[in-house]
């Protein structure tokens, strides 16, 4: 089992959600997050004063899949949809999961995520 976290631009949210559903990924957690990285933020003038805004709004997708094949499909889909070629496109983090437990039924492993 694999957990995939992707932090992407806000504007790709709906396109990425639709693309993940098209590759049969239904269990998705999405959060609005703030972050900084190579994009380095921007400067805005507020009431005549320059303000550096370093923390930018992003969207974080969390997906757990049962096989390496699903993981590869998810990663390819995220890269295809989120890519602009500009700083700030985001990051994908991939983790091996030791176990998953469905609280309601006490099912473990793949049974808990299917």
Distance CA 114, CA 2 (A): 13
State pTM to two decimals: 0.86
Domain count, the chain: 1
Mean per-residue pLDDT pooled into runs of 10, the chain (114 residues): 97 97 92 83 75 84 95 97 93 96 94 89
Instruction: Write the CATH number for 89.
Output: 3.30.70.120
Q: Where in the sequence is the domain holding 59, given as residue range(s)? A: 2-113
**DSSP labels for 28-66?**
EEEEEEEE-STT--EEEEETTEEEEE--EEEEEEEEEES
Tell me how far apart the alpha carbons of residues 37 and 43 are, in angstroms, rounded to a whole number.
15
Alpha-carbon 71 to chain mean position: 13
| Strand partners of residue 58 | 9, 33
């Amino acid at each position: 089992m694999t957990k995939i976290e992707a932090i992407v631009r806000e504007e790709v949210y709906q396109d990425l959600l639709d693309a993940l559903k098209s590759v049969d990924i239904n269990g998705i957690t999405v959060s609005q997050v703030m972050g900084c990285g190579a994009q380095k933020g921007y400067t805005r003038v507020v009431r005549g004063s320059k303000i550096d805004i370093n923390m930018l709004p992003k969207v974080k997708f969390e997906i757990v899949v049962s096989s390496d094949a699903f993981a590869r499909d998810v990663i390819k889909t995220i890269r295809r949809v989120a890519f602009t070629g500009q700083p700030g496109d985001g990051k994908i983090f991939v983790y091996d999961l030791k176990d998953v437990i469905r609280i309601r039924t006490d099912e473990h492993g793949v049974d808990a995520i299917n």
